[in-house]
Amino acid sequence: MRLYSVKKLFVGSPLPTAQARHERLGKVTGLAVFASDNLSSVAYATEEILRVLILAGPAALGFSIPIGLAIAVVIAIVINSYRQSVVAYPQGASDYIVAKDNLGTPAGLTAGAALLIDYTLTVAVSVSAGVAALTSAVPVLYPYRVVLAVTLVAGIALANLRGVRESGRLFAVPTYCFIGGILLMLGAGFFRYLTGAVPGAAAPAGQPEAVSSIGLFLLLRAFSSGAVALTGIEAVADGVTAFKPPEVRNARIVLLWLGAIMATLFVGVTVLASVFGIIPKEEETVVSQLVWQIFGGGVLYYYIQAVSMVILVLAANTAFADFPRLSFFMARDGFLPRQFGTRGDRLVFSNGVIILGLAAALLIVIFGGSTHALIPLYAVGVFTSFTLSQSGMVRRWFRQRPGWWWWRAGINGVGAATTGLVAAIILTSKFVAGAWIVAVLIVIFIAHFLSINRHYRRVAEQLSLEGYGGPPPIRHTVLVLVGDLHRGVVQALQYAKTLSPDTKAVFVELDPDKTWKLEEKWGKWGCGVPLVVLTSPYRSLLGPFLDYLDHLQNQGENHMVTIVLPEFIPARWWQHLLHNQTALLIKGALLFRKNVIVTDVPYHLER
């Protein structure tokens, strides 16, 4: 009861089922709700490109512009692809469902595994990047980044256990503040560049001697790192049903907006970082350096750091909606434990929220709260599920052949080929740096999904009433295990007598003196139940009792035995420590025995 109060304090009172409803979103708020995950990567994607290029020397940083443009092209292709998916799946085109429907269960499970890993990384990466935005502005907090990040994850998880309303306003304000802030910075930055007021802006342009020294592999690695700019782009397609009607049309428009804004912000920041000659530092983010150079340390600097942090937290929050929802779908299909398939008191899939929070916190601790240490793991999953989902769409168009099917299949085909290529590039160029972990995890996850599914199918077969001839007729004996004779035992004997005409009391003798005393009192207090005394040369309570049970059950088939354990319940929990937990021991020993039922008969003490 006390535990329940603590839960209520943090998580809130239960909500009735009828309250489960969703606010419908217009295009403007819809963009805000679904864009935060994707847009927030503006805060770190450019930096991750520069961090790879710097390995080939500062001159190589100039390659960031072509890489940024290549990623913008990929964004355009993927956006276009999902605009097709939305038409086909107006009820929400989750990559897991699209892949499973069109390419079969193995592909669906691969996409599912990739997405679960991806959502976990979204939380870990976004929160780490959010903390980096904070510690760039307030350097004294830098040593506490892991603690800060874990606390943030715990806070977001708790908010989600209470149930965050997918309130448009909650998301709209920070998202548009972020977009506005970055656009303002881009405007000011390009103005200063065009008016020639950029100090040392000549240096970073790619010089010929650098071109020869940088390898193709490093370029691909830089591209792979930047590809995190696409994470979260699928959110709109997942959430079509959240839009006001006409849902599909609105979702398609929002997708276009999202792609345009994302490409603008990302390419803008990348070009400016190159123009301003920003070099990545350990303790300050690239965006922070850039903003500082453009605005100096004024209000606008702190404004952009603050909104960056907030949008990154919102991005993490998105994963706390996506992960439990996907787990719910997979649990419903029997690929994840059933516990993920039930809503908690607050209409939230609580188990999914808790598992995601723990996994993300663990990742943050293992990788020291460093965004760029996590990046090689990120994006592998995203592009794997993109590829499977787009390939599934191609297959679907070929099968159903609606109007313009060859055109639609073509668009999704380009999407599938592009994302597949990017996935392959990421996996090879980042394999040693961490992508292998994700590859291995995906395989392990799939193996578990399959074995969980097999288990559920087997249980269902074994419990099915089809072809069941009904239970065999049973013989029923009740045994009351007594160690002493007191009020609790007398009450249990009285109860046991009502259960079956064949009731016996069993006493295991550890000390003959006690037996005599017991037998003496039995006449008056035994309630007429016959007493069986078993001897125990090894002072074991269980051994002789189990032997007796065997003996009894071997007399005939389907002999059901109910074992009644008289137990007194102390008034306070700590008093349990002062009594032998014999009942627990006996239950443990009998747990896997057939046709045996153990019943505690509690006698409640009052003080």
* Site of interaction with its own copies (CB under 8 A): 14-18, 337-339, 342-343, 345, 452, 455-456, 458-459, 462-465, 468, 470-471, 474, 476, 485-488, 490-491, 494-495, 498-500, 521, 525, 537-540, 560, 562, 568-570, 575, 577-580, 591-592, 594, 597-607
For its own copies, the closer of residues 405 and 568 by Cβ is 568
What is the C-alpha separation between 300 and 311, in angstroms, rounded?
16
Question: 191: part of which helix (H) or strand (E)?
Answer: helix 168-194
For its own copies, the closer of residues 56 and 590 by Cβ is 590
- Residue by residue, DSSP assigns 28-72 as HHHHHHHHHHHHGGGGTHHHHHHHHHGGG-GGGGGGHHHHHHHHH
Is 171 exposed, middle or buried (CB count within 10 Å of its CB: 0-12, 13-18, 19+)?
buried
For its own copies, the closer of residues 219 and 561 by Cβ is 561
Q: Is 569 helix (H, G, I), strand (E, B) or coil?
A: strand
Q: How far is the CB of 53 from its own copies (least distance, A)?
A: 45
Q: How far is the CB of 350 from its own copies (least distance, A)?
A: 12
Q: How far is the CB of 332 from its own copies (least distance, A)?
A: 13
For its own copies, the closer of residues 439 and 534 by Cβ is 534
Q: How far is the CB of 317 from its own copies (least distance, A)?
A: 24
Cβ–Cβ < 8 Å for 445, 113: yes
For its own copies, the closer of residues 196 and 523 by Cβ is 523
What is the C-alpha separation between 258 and 194, in angstroms, rounded?
27
For its own copies, the closer of residues 410 and 602 by Cβ is 602
Q: How far is the CB of 140 from its own copies (least distance, A)?
A: 33
Question: 371: part of which helix (H) or strand (E)?
Answer: helix 371-374
For its own copies, the closer of residues 93 and 601 by Cβ is 601
CA distances 103 to 118, 358, 392, Å, are 21, 32, 6
What is the C-alpha separation between 496 and 527, in angstroms, rounded?
10
Q: How far is the CB of 91 from its own copies (least distance, A)?
A: 20
- Measured CA angle at 117 (ends 453, 383), to 5 deg: 110
For 595, half-sphere exposure in the C-beta direction (CA atoms, 13 angstrom radius) is 18
For its own copies, the closer of residues 403 and 472 by Cβ is 472
CA distances 225 to 111, 219, 360, 511, Å, are 21, 10, 20, 75
Cβ–Cβ < 8 Å for 473, 509: no
What is the C-alpha separation between 594 and 588, in angstroms, rounded?
13
Nearby residues of 465 by Cβ (< 8 Å), 6 or more positions away? none
Enumerate the β-bridge partners of residue 601.
566
Q: How far is the CB of 462 from its own copies (least distance, A)?
A: 5
Q: How far is the CB of 342 from its own copies (least distance, A)?
A: 7
Q: How far is the CB of 339 from its own copies (least distance, A)?
A: 6
For its own copies, the closer of residues 434 and 602 by Cβ is 602
